[in-house]
Amino acid sequence: MAFRPLRSFFPTADELLEQDLPTLGAVLLAHLKSYEGLNTVYQHAGLHRGYFRAMLENRNVGLGPLPKEPEYGTRQPEVTKRMMEAWNWLELNGLLIHNDQQVADWFTISSEGEKYLDGKLPAPPCPNPATAANSATGTPRALLSYSWDGPEHQRWVSEFAERLQGESGVEIILDRWHLSPGDDKLHFMEQAVADSNFVIVVCTPTYAERANKRQGGVGYESMVITAELAEHMLTNKFIPVLRKGTWTSSLPIYLKNRMGVNLIDEPYREEEYERLLRVLHGEPIQPPPLGSKPDFSKIGVSKVKAGAMSDATETLPEGSSKAGSELGPPDKRPYAIAWASYEKVGVSARRESIYVRQWNNDGNKQYSVETTRGEEYLGSKDEVIDRFISFHRLLLKEGYKRMNFTPGPDPEFSVLA
């Protein structure tokens, strides 16, 4: 069989992206089969998933000469993502299977896959026709993953899903909409994760407990998610949305290091909801244009504007207190158990730091957080962690970079890394 590039099936990216997964799965099998004899993606051990992705990304991994440019130009990242979803679909349906005689990502086309390639096997169905394909306009699709925490929480999840789909242009996969009596729940979860561009995880303490203990539907869904995260560690597909509890108590272990969206308030803040929508629609906030280099011969020693510190600290959570009001003289405080420092390029920028201390007040263990901007807070460990994260996000928003971080011996503070 002669090699068949993807463009021989779909001349444009829009044509490829509007196909459903069963169609793309058949095309992908034919495309992979055509690599046979080229000693690149298809070798004696079978088909290598990593090599296939490298060819899609036009990335040299020692497989010989690459095309002069990506097959679909600037649309290639979208095509790559969709074709890897098609690969996942083939795996989930047993049409591509692991080569047990090899380590790493080697696969072979199963006997069922060969029949499917020859058109003798009907396509396994998607969980619901509503989830079959994205529209040609690039509408994002997101699975809503949540735990059954009670009627009030269920109502909030339904209203959240309705707003995302009806008002914000995001196609939502929700079990209450797409899972019917008699359907296979586990197959639905597998397909829903594979078919979605994003998975929005509504985080509560109950969700975290069930995910970490692999209990019930949340537990099984978590196994599917962690498998994909292990393969694509840098993906932004899985987005934690904090609804109840704290970042420490409500995020499953596998999402602890992921940036999330805070919708814990009632009503939740619109700016947080916008942050989520920007990710889903691929519309990040654009930085201002790069200015020209200053004429340093005309610049004197810069001074921090009066009031600048108080303006910045107003964005921290309510409850913070002014320096010295609770923690006492600096030289009488316990040693810091965790701290971080930040720097910003610019003649007027100063170094910023944040410190966490542990206190033992009459046998009661408490924690404090203090910053170089004069903010102090004494409270529980979870509260201090939340304030640490808020200050960290504030500095990143202002253009600072974290230069060093010491989490200390307490493993719960590793969430701040």
DSSP one-letter string for 379-397: E-HHHHHHHHHHHHHHHHH
Q: 36: helix, coil or strand? A: coil
**pLDDT beyond 70 at 211:** yes
Give the pLDDT score at 415: 67
Q: What's residue 346's pLDDT?
A: 60
Same domain flag for 113 and 135: no
260 plus 143 within the same structural domain: yes
20 shares its domain with 155: no
d(CA 273, CA 261): 7
Domain end, chosen from 249, 280, 311, is at: 280
- Closest by Cα among 290, 292, 208 to 250: 208
- For 281-293, what is the mean pLDDT? 83
CA distance 76 to 74: 5
Give the model confidence (pLDDT) of 346-404 as tens digits.
655 678 889 888 888 777 788 888 888 888 888 888 888 888 888 888 888 888 888 77
Given 50, 83, 117, which residue is the final one in a domain?
Answer: 117
Q: What pLDDT shows up at residue 310?
A: 34
Collapsed DSSP state (helix, strand, coil) of residue 240? strand
pLDDT of 158 > 90? The answer is yes
Share of the chain above pLDDT 70, in %: 81
C-alpha distances out from residue 189 to 115, 222, 224, Å: 26, 10, 8
Write down the pLDDT at residue 221. 83
Check whether residue 27 and residue 80 sit in a common domain. yes
pLDDT of amino acid 319: 39
Residue 389 forms part of a structural domain: yes
Last residue of a domain, one of 62, 90, 117: 117
In the block, tokens 């998607």 appear at: 126
Give me the chain's average pLDDT, please. Answer: 79
One domain, residues 138 and 231: yes
How many whole angstroms separate alpha carbon 415 and alpha carbon 235? Answer: 18
173-178: Cβ within 8 A, 24+ apart: 173/127, 173/130, 173/131, 173/141, 173/142, 173/143, 173/144, 174/144, 177/130, 178/127, 178/128, 178/130, 178/131
CATH number assigned to the domain comprising residue 228: 3.40.50.10140
The pLDDT value recorded for residue 314 is 34
Q: Where is mean pLDDT largest: 123-127, 264-268, 304-308?
A: 264-268
Q: What integer pLDDT is reported at residue 45 of this predicted model?
A: 65
In-domain check, residue 194:
yes
Same domain assignment for residues 98 and 147 = no
How many whole angstroms separate alpha carbon 98 and alpha carbon 346?
53
Measured distance CA(241)–CA(273) in Å, rounded: 10
- Using DSSP, state whether 46 is helix, strand or coil: strand
- How does residue 324 score in pLDDT terms, banded at 50, 70 and 90? very low
Specify whether 40 is located in the same domain as 95: yes
**37, exposed or middle or buried, with CB in 10 Å at 0-12, 13-18, 19+?**
exposed
Look at residue 251 and tell me if it is in a domain: yes
Residue 129 clears pLDDT 60, i.e. is over it = no
Strands 401-406 and 336-343, by their bridges, are: antiparallel
Write out the residue range of the structural domain in which residue 62 sits.
6-117
How much is the average pLDDT of 201-223? 88
In a domain, 17, yes or no: yes
Decide if 287 is inside a domain: no
β-strands 198-203, 238-242: how paired?
parallel
Whether 29 and 104 map to the same domain: the answer is yes
- Please report whether residue 141 resides in a domain: yes
pLDDT, tens digit, 9 for 90 and up, residues 21-66? 888 888 899 888 887 777 677 777 688 888 888 888 877 655 555 5
Same domain, 135 and 110: no
Q: Are residues 174 and 221 in the same domain?
A: yes
Across 264-268, 271-275, 333-337, which has the greatest mean pLDDT? 271-275
Q: Are residues 189 and 211 in the same domain?
A: yes
Q: How confident is the model at residue 128 (pLDDT cuts 50, 70, 90)?
A: very low
- For the chain, the domain total comes to 3
Q: Which two tokens stand for residue 104?
A: 């790493």
The reply to whether 314 falls in a domain is yes
- Nearest 5°: phi and psi at 138? 85, 30
Q: What is the model's pLDDT at position 301?
A: 43
pLDDT above 50 for 417: yes
Residues 107 and 151 in one domain: no
Domain for residue 291, yes or no? no
* Predicted TM-score of the model (pTM): 0.45
Q: Which residue do the tokens 């914000």 mark?
A: 168
Letter for the amino acid at 316? L
Listed residue (195, 18, 174) closest to 124, CA to CA: 195
pLDDT at position 138: 61
Q: Which is more confidently placed, 123 or 414?
A: 414
Q: Determine the pLDDT at residue 103.
A: 61
